[in-house]
Structures are given as structure tokens and as C-alpha cells.
Amino acid sequence: PKKRLLSRDTEGLQLCLACRNMQRAQAARSALLASHPTARVALLQMDTSSVASVVAAAQEVKLRYNRLDYLYLNAGIMPNPQFDVRAFFKGLFSSRVVTMLETGEGILTQKDCVTADGLQEAFMTNLFGHFLLIRELEPILCHAGWTSQLIWTSSGNAHRLAFDTEDIQHRRGNQPYSSSKYASDLLSLVLNTRYNKQGLYSSVTCPGFVITGLTYGILPCFPAFIWTLLMPLLCLIRMLTNTFTLTPYNGAEALFWLFKQKPESLDPQAKYHSLTSWLSNNYTQPRKMDVDLETSEVLFEKLLQLETEVRRKMKGKQKESQLARHSSTAGSR
């Protein structure tokens, strides 16, 4: 949504792009400055799949800014996706065709892996990295007298059945993406109950079906030009479902729409969908999420426990490396 934010009359707007790959970040910054030469766009290195990287990035943010008005939690991966072609064609001729096209239900599974911190990668990248970031940034997100907004990019693929409070990292199943996105819906709900009094609000969005790096990964046998050739057909599917937003510009509609709303007026139980009509008009529509406060409280407590664990481990590692440095300097004396 960066480009769309800058296209508004937003005098005084300062953007900070937190990215894992600084070369791509620099390219994104240059592209923004080419169209908006006076824009204030800063960069920050952050990898949401690494505990140390998230904590270091948050420290840097706190040094640079004393207040954050919006935090877009958009980083996401779908690790090693497997597309079930048979289920897809079967679904095409069934009564659940629209649901399948809208949510990917029944046709998508993934093979997850474990990060250097010993956490499931999809869980860490899509959810827990963001959770740690929010916790670290609390002092500049929560301030008496003004509001701040967390804006999550969730997915229509977030399903309750893929999520288990006994396995929040989804170590055992084959839908880690769906599980992590459902967990972000739950987390947003509980963040509102815990933080609204301190001026911090959280909302969830779904960009719809967008042709991006993530989509290319689902069908790697489809070169990019095939997607371009298929565009007219994909646009026709909008007659069946307006979730085929297709371009990042359209997909960012809800992210941009939320920027303009008073956070107090938003529904914590709603997911805000970017939609594109068959006449190519973009709009945002709230739809009730399949979430309940009880489950979201359980998730929140488990995330807090995990946070304590990873912080303890991080401190242990820091101590070890300090000791190693100390003994190597003592040895060289």
C-alpha cells in the first residue's frame, strides 16, 4: 500500500519500510521516490523469521521514532506449497467452486521447516515475528491521548480447522499457512481487548487473490507470462467472485481504506476484504470472522509463554558469546 499512501495528501507522512532484503528495499524506495520525490521513506533491515533480527529492528525503531501511528504487518510466506490439481478440477464442477476459488480450501497444503531459533518457519514469519515486534514496540505504540493502528494482512485461507491451540506452531499438520493466518485473526481480536484502553487498535485484512511472488510459488510450472496471458480469463472470474483482485494495487485497497478510518469505529470481529467488481471498481467490505474470544485468549497466553522462552534463550546465547569474546581476548593478552 506504500504507493497508495503517498498518493494521498499526507503531509508529514513518514514511511519506514522494514524488509529482510536491503537490495529489494532500496529498489522499492527508489521506485517510490521516482513518483513522489519529496516523500520521506526510510529503510530498516528486519527478518520476521529471526528472533534476534526482530528485536534488533525494534530497538532501532525506538531509537529513530518516539511514536508510531500505523504498523502494517504484511510479511508472509507459504512454504513449499503443494497444489492439488485433481481436487481443483473436481472442485471446479462442484457446488463449492466459489468457496474453493475464494479461499483455496481443499486444494493447498505446505511443507514447513524449522528456523535457526527452533520455531516453525511459517508460524514465526507470519505470526510470532510480528507478535514479538508489537511487544517490543509497545512503548511507542501505546500512548495516552492518541491512537495507533496495527493492520494485519491475513488471508481468506485462514481456517479454524487448520488451527489447534495444542499445536499453535502447526508442527503436526500440513496447512501451516492457513494455521498462521487463522492465528493472526485470533491475535488481532485479543489485542483489541488487551490494548484498546491504551489507544492501540488492531484490524485484519484480506487482499483477495493477487498475482505475486507468493502465487508464483503455488504454481511454479506456470511462468510469469502465462499469468499475463490468463489475465482476461481471471478478470472474467470476477463475475463469480469479487475476491479476484489480481493486482497488488487492488489487493492493497483494504490496507489503504483502514488508514483513513477512525480505529475506534472499526469492528474487531471483522476481516476487511479488498474486493474488485467485474467492472474493475475497488472497494472494502467487512466480513465477520470465525473467531471467538476464548480461543484467542488461550493463543495470547501461549504466545506470551513462548516469548518468555525465546527471550531467555536469546539472553543465554548473548551471555555465551560475551564469555567466548572475553576468554578469547584474555587468551590473546
3-state secondary structure of 244: coil
Q: Which stretch binds ligand NAP (CB under 6 A): 79-87, 89-97, 206-214, 268-276?
A: 206-214
Q: How far apart are CA 250 and CA 209, in angstroms?
A: 10
Regarding 48 and contact with ligand NAP (CB under 6 A), the answer is: yes
Query: Closest approach of Cβ 214 to ligand NAP, in Å?
Result: 3
Q: Of residues 72, 177, 201, 272, which has the active-site annotation?
A: 177
177 a catalytic residue: yes
Residue 233's CB is within 10 A of a number of other CB atoms, namely 8
| Residue nearest ligand NAP, Cβ-based | 76
Torsion angles phi and psi, residue 40, rounded to 5: -105, 105
Could you give the CA distance from residue 50 to residue 52 in angstroms, rounded to a whole number? Answer: 6
Q: What angle do CA 251, 252, 254 make, to 5 degrees?
A: 100
CA distances from 173 to 164, 185, 206, 306 (A): 10, 19, 23, 20
How far apart CA 127 and CA 10 sit, in angstroms, is 29
For residue 171, give the H/E element and its range.
none
Nearest Cα to Cα of residue 291 among 310, 271, 272, 308: 271
The nearest distance, CB 125 to ligand NAP, in angstroms, is 4
Task: Out of 21, 30, 280, 322, point to the residue binding ligand NAP (CB under 6 A).
Answer: 21
Among 6, 36, 47, 148, binds ligand NAP (CB under 6 A): 47
Does position 213 bind ligand NAP by CB under 6 A? Answer: yes
Regarding 250 and contact with ligand NAP (CB under 6 A), the answer is: no
Site for ligand NAP in 142-161 (CB under 6 A): 153, 155
Contacting range for ligand NAP; rule: CB under 6 A; set: 19-27, 64-72, 230-238, 296-304: 19-27
At its nearest, how many Å lie between ligand NAP and the CB of residue 264?
26
Instruction: Report the residue number, 162 or 206, with the smaller CB distance to ligand NAP.
Output: 206
**Toward ligand NAP, which CB reaches closer, 148 or 243?**
243
Considering the rule CB under 6 A, would residue 214 count as an interface residue with ligand NAP? yes
Among 165, 212, 261, 284, binds ligand NAP (CB under 6 A): 212
DSSP 166: G
- Report yes or no: 295 and 269 within 8 Å, Cβ to Cβ: no
